Amino acid sequence: MIKKRAYKNVVRVTFELPGDAVDEHAGVAGSFNEWTPQDLPMEYVKTRDVWKAAVSLEPDSAYEFKYYVDGDQWVNDAEADEYTSNPYVEKNSVVHT
């Protein structure tokens, strides 16, 4: 799930995965952080049973991303704004701000 909140010069994007989608750890990697999931780790929110991370992005832009789950899985967001092909013959999620 993706939530967006627009402010004056930035859009705060919150990424969420269901609690049961992750065993130990997850991160968000994309064009906004040089595809480094360690730069945007997800935290488990026990009261909501979700894994969550947020980042501030420039408005009126499109960013490719994926979730990196448990150190061995790249996962797309089922509610992404769109999907685009990547060089690995797969798809990336896209979020529009």
Mean pLDDT, contiguous 10-residue spans, the chain (97 residues) = 95 97 97 96 97 98 98 96 93 98
Amino acid code (one letter) for 52? K
Number of domains present in the structure of the chain: 1
Q: Answer whether 13's CB lies under 8 Å from 57's CB.
A: yes
Containing structural domain, residue 83: 2-96
- Looking at residue 91, what is its pLDDT? 97
CATH number at residue 33: 2.60.40.10
Task: Tell if the pTM clears 0.85, that is, is over it.
Answer: yes
Residue 42 is given by DSSP the state -
- Looking at residue 89, what is its pLDDT? 82
